[in-house]
Chain A
Amino acid sequence: MKKEISWIIWVSFLIMSLIGFGFIQGAVQEDAAYQQAERSQNINMALERLISELKDIETGIRGYIITGNYSYLEPYNSSLPNINKYDLMLENLIIDPTQTKNLPRLIKLTKKRLRISALSLKLMQTKGKDAAFNQVSTGDGKLVMDAIRAHVAKMQSRENYLAHAAKKKSIDAKKLQRMVYAIGFVIMAALQALAFYRMNQEINQRQMAQKTLEELNESLEIRILEKTREVTELNETLELKVEERTAQLNAVNKELETFSYSVSHDLRSPLRSISGFSQALIRLKNDQLDEEAQDFLNRILNNAQRMGLLIDDLLKLSRLSRGSLQKEPVNLSVLVKDSLDELMLQEQSRQVKVTIEPDLIATADKQLIDAALQNLINNAWKYTSKNEIAEISFGSRMSNDKQAFYIQDNGAGFNMKYAHKLFGAFQRLHAMEEFSGNGIGLATVQRIIHRHGGEVWAEAEEGKGATFYFTL
């Protein structure tokens, strides 16, 4: 489209150039014709005057010869210098090659005629009237004069032809010019019509394209609105679902609470009976029991008490799941040091080498994280009890771009084969006789760490020690 319009503009420009060129050409031709006409007129006039002068000379000579009166020679005397003047004039005026070739003959003939006249005059003055008369009568002069006349006629005819040709050329140029005008205007009008049509067409196409674009835009907007509504609806559904789940979770939590409440009551009651009546037997009916019976009763009592402690720990564990976390910056190093100091105070006989990386700070619930650390430290303390020199250290290192804290010992360790069982409630990896404990400590640790959104894991080797890592 653009190409076509530029093509139309170029053609119009070319046509306008042609018209301009034609106009200039016409003017030039007209000017040339005018100049040629003027020139030819001047030449023809000069030629006629030349002949007229020659005639005057001839007439003068004749009059003088016939009458012998000098006064008749006056035209001859006055005309003679004019001849040269006209010759010069003609020489200046003539530019046509043919005429240029013709001119020398005219001059030659003129000179010949003048010589004849001069001879007649000389004869008249030297030999007398008759000799001169005879010489004139030979007709030589007339012959030359006729030749001159014929030549002049020829030259005039040529001049007329030249003037006519120039005029004709000018007229032709004008005709051509008019034709170029006419055709040029027609073509330009056609081109402009075409350009107008094309531009109109393009404007229409653009308007249509714009309309299509607008429609597309509108449909797009509608689709965006639809999608937005879908997303909003989805969001709402999601929120509803979340609410539902939260309600379900709350319900489950409540059930668990009720469960643990029941456990605390209903598991304790039979235990209290077992322990209470066993003790009553020992205290009140001691004289009726032999040593073995007393031993049995003591075993019953011990186990009842142990189960009581288990229930207490289990209740503590279930309480960890409830209530909100009170997070604050906690200096873990200080908590670890306090726990170890207390243990060392309780068992002063033990040799324990303690290494604590100072001022390890974490954002956590102080009470809960202290409980977790105490559990881990108690474990480390317990499982190094058979070492001559126990080593317990607390520190941190990076694990998957997160700060992981660790408590390391050189104690009994465990087989990594059982690592997955480590954090389950009531799971024990060592015999009761070997190390005491109820197998609930690490479950507690895991629950506390999970409530903080962290991870807990262990690395160990049997007989070489264990390292417990946690992130927060």
Chain B
Amino acid sequence: MPQTKVILLVEDNPDDERLTLMGFRENRILNEIVVARDGVEAINYLEGKGDYADRLGGATSPQLIVLDLKLPKVDGIEVLKHIRQSEHNQYTPVVILTSSTEERDIVESYQLGVNAYVQKPIDFMDFTEAVKHLGMFWLLLNQAPNDALKGPLTSA
């Protein structure tokens, strides 16, 4: 079993947060899950600033970032831009999990280099199913380039 890495969940709605967590649990995804409740908090976590100043910024990239689009303070699209421009996280898989099915949101997200765009289904079963697939693919199957790149750093 490889060392489990953090999943960063950026979600402002506590119900959705709870449901997503339940979904992870249902699918036996046991990674540590860090929840950021707005865009600023997410960026602070990734950069090791503010409340996360004690965290060694960028030393450990999350294994997966699950990002909502509609967020307080800084919205999901801005967070995504930030991630793709940052040195440490530019290759971190990002999945947008949102209730929006607006064409412009989907197009903009893919243009900014998102790895997947998933609409939050209303049905909990469908939701659990979606989370399961996400976990399967992005946590187990996908070979991310940052694993190879960051290898020497994590072993240090």
- 1/0 per residue, CB under 8 A from A, across B4-42: the answer is 000000000101100100100000000000000000000
Among listed A267-275, A286-294, A387-395, interface-contacting one: A267-275
Closest Cβ of chain B: how far from A18's Cβ, in Å? 110
- 1/0 per residue, CB under 8 A from B, across A304-317: the answer is 11001000000100
Cβ–Cβ contact A276 & B124, under 8 A:
yes
Is A277's beta carbon under 8 Å from chain B? yes
Is A261's beta carbon under 8 Å from chain B? yes
Among listed B46-54, B94-102, B106-114, B144-152, interface-contacting one: B94-102
Closest Cβ of chain A: how far from B144's Cβ, in Å? 29
Cβ–Cβ contact A277 & B15, under 8 A:
yes
Cβ–Cβ contact A268 & B99, under 8 A:
yes
Docked Cα-Cα span, A278 to B123, in Å, equals: 10
Restricting to A253-283, which residues have a CB under 8 Å from any CB of B? 261, 264-265, 268-273, 275-280, 283
Cβ–Cβ contact A269 & B99, under 8 A:
yes
Docked Cα-Cα span, A308 to B120, in Å, equals: 12
| A315 contacts across to B, CB distance below 8 A | 101
Tell which of A265, A272, A283 touches B122, judged by Cβ atoms closer than 8 Å.
A272
Closest Cβ of chain B: how far from A444's Cβ, in Å? 17
Is B141's beta carbon under 8 Å from chain A? no
From DSSP, what is the main secondary structure of chain B's interface residues? loop
Query: Contacts A275-B122, A276-B124: A269 and B16 contacting too (C-beta < 8 A)?
Result: yes
Query: Contacts A264-B102, A269-B99, A272-B99: A305 and B123 contacting too (C-beta < 8 A)?
Result: yes
Docked Cα-Cα span, A315 to B101, in Å, equals: 10
| A261 contacts across to B, CB distance below 8 A | 100, 102
Cβ–Cβ contact A279 & B125, under 8 A:
yes
Is B70's beta carbon under 8 Å from chain A? yes
Query: Contacts A280-B22, A304-B122, A305-B122: A272 and B16 contacting too (C-beta < 8 A)?
Result: yes
Nearest A residue to B119 via CB reads A268
Docked Cα-Cα span, A308 to B119, in Å, equals: 13
A-B contact pairs, 25 of them (CB 8 A): A261-B100, A261-B102, A264-B99, A264-B100, A264-B101, A264-B102, A265-B98, A265-B100, A268-B99, A269-B15, A271-B122, A272-B99, A272-B120, A272-B127, A273-B15, A275-B123, A275-B124, A276-B22, A277-B124, A278-B124, A279-B123, A280-B22, A280-B124, A305-B122, A315-B101
Given contacts A305-B123, A308-B123, 12 further A-B contacts (CB under 8 A): A261-B100, A265-B70, A265-B98, A268-B99, A269-B16, A270-B15, A272-B16, A273-B16, A275-B124, A276-B22, A279-B125, A308-B122
Q: Which 4 pairs from chain A and chain B are nearest by CB?
A: A279-B124, A273-B15, A308-B122, A276-B124
